Structure formats: C-alpha cells, structure tokens
Amino acid sequence: MSLTQELIAQIRARAVTDPDLEQAALFTLDAIACAYAGSNTPVGEILQRWAAQGDMDSRRQALLMAALTHITETDDLHRASVTHPGCVVVPAVLSLGEKLGSNNRQMLTAILHGFEAMCRIGAAVGPAHYRIWHNTATCGPFGSAMAAACLLQLDATQTLDALGNAGTQASGFWQFMESGAMSKHLHAGRACESGWLAADLAASGFTGPAQILEGRKGFFAGMCDDPAPERILSEPGANWQLRLTSIKPWPSCRHTHPIIDCALEIHEMLQGESIDRIDIKTYQAALDVCDNPTPESEYQAKFSLYHTAAIALLDGAVGLQSFTPAARQRTDQLRRSTRVMVADPYASNYPLAWGAEVTVIGTSGARFKVSRRDCKGDPELALDNAEMRSKALGLLHYAGLDETAAKRLCDSVLEMPASAEPSTLFSDFIAHFLK
C-alpha cells in the first residue's frame, strides 16, 4: 500500500464522538467569523469586486471564502504541520455540503477528516520545506480533497485518486513576504478549490498517482529536502488533529503570538517604567518569516516580531487596529531598540512547542523577563467556549453584522452537532458579501 492509501484507511477507521463534533463546530465558527471579517478589508474588497464579475460556481465561491478567511491573520494554526487548516477545509465543506444537501454531522465529520489529512501530511514535509513553500498552500489540497471525498462518499480507490491529484496541484511560495503582496490569501483559496476539484474528478473516474507522496517524482522528492514520512501515520490513537490545533487570540502571524503573550504580561509589570531595550529569544522559523524590524504595511506589521512585541508592551492589548500606520509610527523607537535571537529551549522545542522569551530593560536598569513554552490558544492553554464565542462575535461585529445577527450566526454554528436541519451557512455568507 502507498502512504496515501494507508492514511485514508487510518482516517476512515477512526471513531467520531459527540465531543469531536462539538470541537469541529467551534473550529467551524472560528473559520466562518474570520471569513466575515476578511470581507471588510481592502484585500477583501478586491476579492469581492472580482467575485462580482460573475462566473462564480460553488467551487469558485469556496475559493473566495477560503481566501477571505485567511486575510485578517486570525484563523487557526496547527503547530506540528505549520498549517492553517480551517481556512482551507471549512469553506470546501460548507460549500460542497450545502450543494449536496449533507447533514450537519456529515459536514463536521468531513471537517475532521480534512484537518487530519492536511495536518498529518504537513507534519511530514520537514522544516526545509517551510523556508520556501507555504505549508498551508502545499498541504492544503490534501485536506480539502479528503473532506470532499467524505462528503461525496468516494470509495477507497476514488479517494486515493482524489488525494493523488490534490498533491499534484500543490504550490505556493513565500516570495510574497518580501513586498507584502497578497498571494498568501490566494494560497488558501486555491488549496481549497484544488482539493475539491480533485475529489470531483475522482468521482467521475479521473485517476491520480497512488504514490504522490513518496514516489520518485512525487511530493517529497520534488519539494522536501528533509521529509519525515513516518509522521503521516504516527500515533494513530492520538486525538483528532483538529483537537491538536491552536486558535489565535490575536490578529497576527502565529509565530508572533508567544512574544505577544510574554509582552502583555510584562506590560502589567512595568508600572510606568520607560523601556530602554527589548530582547527576544525564539526559534529559527519565527525569524525566517517574521524578522522584519521596519514593516511598511499593515500586513508586514502582522509578520513583525518587533512591532508585535512593541505594540503589546505599549498598549497592553493587540487587536485589529494594532497594525495601522499610526500604530506602526508609535512603535518605531521601540522597534529600533529590539534585538531578536534564536535560542534554546525554544529552538529545539519547535515545532511541537512554539515558545519565546521576552526581556525588557527599563531606563532605570530594571529587568522584566517572561517566557512561554506554549501560548494562549494552544491546546495546552485552549480558549474556552465563552472565549471562542467572544472572539467570533468580535470578528462578526468588525464585518458589520449587528449584535442580533452575530449572535444568531454563532448559535446556528454551535448547534450543528445536535441539529438535523440543512445548513445555509455558506449561502448566507455569500449573500452577505455580495449584498
């Protein structure tokens, strides 16, 4: 059997419990709220103008929702794979599920399956892959294909074809970071669409390569210098990968979050002390993606260890308004006084733990040091249901929904595990941004 065949069999052999479905509903709510918020951004407006030109079938609409979900940098993050599975898998499931008339349990189960495939393959690509390739883009098609295969009720052979052709569409470079281009959102959208397309074709008998992962001219050979294929099937009895996925409390790259977490605690300790210098210790991937001391745009600021540390120290909070030109201007002096370095234990713990240490030296010479092995929103420090709902409401209000509509939407998503009603979540979303 190929690795893909074994992965499919392992996923489909797993039991799905009511608590699993409840967690899937929470992650669905998070993704939907992120998509609504993304529609109320300059990038979101560009995507909506594109969508308004027409030719938007349900698969292309799923691409749109996936791209919007990834804009505000508030969507989930799976640490071991360094992927954002929700922005890829959830739009595919909501759109295809509504088209097929799938019930809520089928849709939530498909989300579990999609997360599982995407995260397990992502955990196997190796750290060198992430330096050039955006894991959400390259591993995402496997997730949306696996989820779509579940909804389409494809057999094992058809599902193998679907994942084979999902893998052959894998793409997405980090080059956009140098200029702050908008490609990252396209990565999520295309990953969502590509996997669904692969599953749709498989349902019609269109074949794909069985050894897309380990073959001599396959995914690992072409895109991974240091793959770890054994991770795809490791720990089959562990929790669903969805339940090992982190939720973002702050709207910035997840690599900045342990630093924000530390800085927010130090803010409370400063008691009016002026800051002379900031020292940050972290892991190499954080520098690879977020070593930007002079961000020139809102998006670059979300990928700046320097800005996020400084704004958290200054304001004691990080929100959607923390990356504006005015906010970047306020952090200019502190950013110039910040040093970032790679250090253990944070370097050796990554990617299983995303930690950091922040030390602030005050003008009086006082030192304030806080470290994190894990970060708020990680499974070890998970947001509770009330915090998840509060986050979603905040994003929905940012998107322009009034309090009644936002609460009604939250309720309808969280009731999915116990509801047999057909879902209209996707068509409601499309109607909102095309209004």
**Cis geometry, peptide bond prior to residue 345 (ω within 30 degrees of 0):** yes
Label residue 352 by pLDDT band (50, 70, 90): confident
Q: What pLDDT does residue 417 have?
A: 96
**Both 281 and 398 in a single domain?**
no
**Both 185 and 69 in a single domain?**
yes
- The pTM score is 0.93
- Non-local (6+) Cβ contacts of 203 within 8 A are 152, 154, 158
* Mean pLDDT computed over 332-358: 95
**Both 307 and 287 in a single domain?**
yes
Token pair, residue 91, equals: 């739009």
The mean pLDDT of the chain is 96
Look up the CATH number of the domain holding residue 363.
Answer: 3.30.1330.120
Look up the CATH number of the domain holding residue 400.
Answer: 1.10.4100.10
Cα separation of the two ends of the chain: 49
| Residue 183 in this model has a pLDDT that exceeds 70 | yes
Nearest to residue 116, comparing CAs of 214, 196, 232, 267? 232
Burial (CB count <10 Å: 0-12, 13-18, 19+), residue 348 = exposed
**Domain range spanning residue 111?**
3-249+381-433
Residue-wise pLDDT for 221-239, tens only, equals: 999 999 999 999 999 999 9
**Both 389 and 348 in a single domain?**
no
Return the number of other C-beta atoms located less than 10 Å from residue 397's C-beta: 16
**Both 365 and 409 in a single domain?**
no
**Both 35 and 97 in a single domain?**
yes
Check: CB of residue 304 under 8 Å from CB of residue 292: yes
